[in-house]
Structure 1
Amino acid sequence: MLQRIAERLTDIRTDRDYRTNIGSAVALEPAQHPDDDALGLTLAALAIQRDASKPHGQHRLLQALVEATVPASLVDAHARSHAIAADIEDALADWLPLPNGLPVQVEDIVFLDRPEGLPVVAVQVALTIRYRR
């Protein structure tokens, strides 16, 4: 499931009518980004739970986090962070990760200025994906 979402996020490029090119640096592991000076987008699973609102225990909720980092040294780091968040939301809007599934839901968007003293501005986009196993 995460791989399919990651593939969808690679479409985020200005030549496809998005605001940014963050789709050129999508990873499933944070260590895959070269250094703190590079733009990067990381997708990670947070939890998988049974959907209590559905009978028979066949439905699941996958909670995931998309985190983008923007070098804080850029003059427009905060504006670019907001553009990235909008691009992520646009890329996933009404998109079905599985046939006969439900669209990915963007739950929260959080902006972090230099988290833990790192030289980056970070954007965290929390997602929920409902699916049947």
Structure 2
Amino acid sequence: MADVARTWALLRRIATRLTEIRIDNGYRTEVGTAVALEPAQHSDDSLVGLTLAALGIQRDTNQPHGRHRVLQALAEATLPVTLADAHLRSHDIAADIEDALDAWIPLPNALPVQVEDIVFLDRPEGLPVVAVQVALTIRYRR
């Protein structure tokens, strides 16, 4: 039987890295206690949650051979709007994600995870949460 897909292995390693985001590890937040790879695992809008999801895979056009890929992913944290400092905490979470992934290499034959964009959403689609979305790219050789 074949091993798990390389892209899923990359996502699992990144998720494991994000679980290190805790105050006792020198970060600003405890968002590492709520990391999931499936959105359904955060069904309670009264809790902080962090979901990591793949957006797509493309051939790396910067490499002349067809074995290089770019995995695009999204780390999305949601915070209840009932928190008095939800907006401040969303900035802290974005900074923690960026700090945790800075210059970190998830697997052999991969390059460091790159933070591409950070977007802050206030009550997306009328939900009772504030969301921060951190777009990531991971270059790897298949």
Same fold (TM over 0.5): yes
How far off its partner does 1:34 sit? Answer: 3.6
Match of 1:91 among 89, 92, 100: 100
* Unmatched runs of 5 consecutive residues or more in structure 2: 1-9
**By how many angstroms is 1:100 displaced?**
4.5
Q: Is 1:22 paired with 2:38?
A: no
Amino-acid identity (%): 77
1:115 to 124, 138, 142: 124
Task: Find the aligned partners of 1:112 and 1:90 in 2 and give their Cα distance.
Answer: 21
- Structure 1 unmatched ranges of 5 or more: none
- The answer to whether the aligner puts 1:101 opposite 2:114 as a matched pair is no
Q: Answer yes or no: is 1:48 the counterpart of 2:57.
A: yes
In the alignment, the residues of structure 2 paired with residue 131 and residue 74 of structure 1 have an alpha-carbon distance, to the nearest angstrom, of 39
Deviations 1:16-70 (A, max 9, x none): 0000000000000111014111100000000000011111201000000000000
Any idea what SS the aligned residue of 1:57 has? coil
SS of the equivalent of 1:56 reads coil
The amino acid that maps onto 1:23 is G
Alignment correspondent of 1:81: 90
For residue 12 of structure 1, what is the aligned residue in structure 2?
Answer: 21
**Equivalence map 1:23-38=2 (5 Å):** 23-38=32-47
Aligned-partner SS, 1:124: strand
CA RMSD of superposed structures (Å): 0.7
In 1, the alpha carbon distance for the partners of 2:24 and 2:15 equals: 18
SS in 2 for 1:116: helix
Asked if the contact 2:109–2:141 (Cα under 8 Å) also holds between the matched residues in 1, the reply is no
Paired residue type of 1:5: I
- Aligned residue in 2 for 1:66: 75
User: After TM superposition, which residue ranges in structure 1, 4 or more long, deviate above 2 angstroms?
Assistant: none
Q: TM-score, normalised by structure 1?
A: 0.98
**Alignment size in residue pairs:** 133
AA of the residue aligned to 1:51: D
- CA distance 1:24–1:64, shift in 2 (3 Å): same
Provide the C-alpha distance between the structure 2 equivalents of 1:88 and 1:80, rounded to a whole number of angstroms: 12
